Amino acid sequence: MQAELSIGRAVAPENLHLTLAFLDEQPEMVLAALHDELALITGPQPRIRIAGLDALGGAKARLVFAAVSPDPALVSLRKRVRIAARAVGVNLPRERFRPHVTLARFRQRQVPGESEKLAAFLAREGAFSLPEFMVADFALYRSTLTPEGPIYDTLASYSLAIGPDL
């Protein structure tokens, strides 16, 4: 789908993800304690269904994303991850959960014609969907911001059935 979008900076395939909680900068001690809490989280496994494409940012779009239907198990997993983060002292703001996968980002200053190309892309591809699939695990990532976009490093993975996989 990203190849169809001729504008913006595509997110590298290895960086595609769905954020359950943004933790901001945290000291190693907090991350170690969070790892222990996250390892306790088990099923049920969320069903993921991509349900269309959209953009965030209004007239000056900041990003294009694939919307994810808010499956009850996904909403529950997010809630448990946020509870675990708060239990170890991470201050998380209240925010509405709008599950999505970012496909491309745009610079603050738009290129002439970019808005029109984006509107045409969304009119053509906005109803995009994928077959539903199950998620067996989730991960704790560290993001490093670069001029080309964030780079994500997996710190730990957690099976929703059996616990952590380091």
Of 53, 47, 49, give the one whose Cα is nearest residue 66. Answer: 53
| CATH, range 2-23+45-159 | 3.90.1140.10
Cα 102 to the chain's mean position, in Å? 7
What value does the mean pLDDT of the chain take? Answer: 91
Work out the number of other CB atoms within 10 angstroms of the CB of residue 65: 21
108 token code pair? 């603050």
Residues involved in catalysis: 17, 100
Reported as a single tens digit per residue, the pLDDT across 41-100 is 998 999 999 999 999 987 788 999 999 998 999 999 999 999 999 999 999 999 899 999
Q: Domain coordinates of the chain in residue numbers?
A: 2-23+45-159
163 confidence band (pLDDT: 50, 70, 90): very low
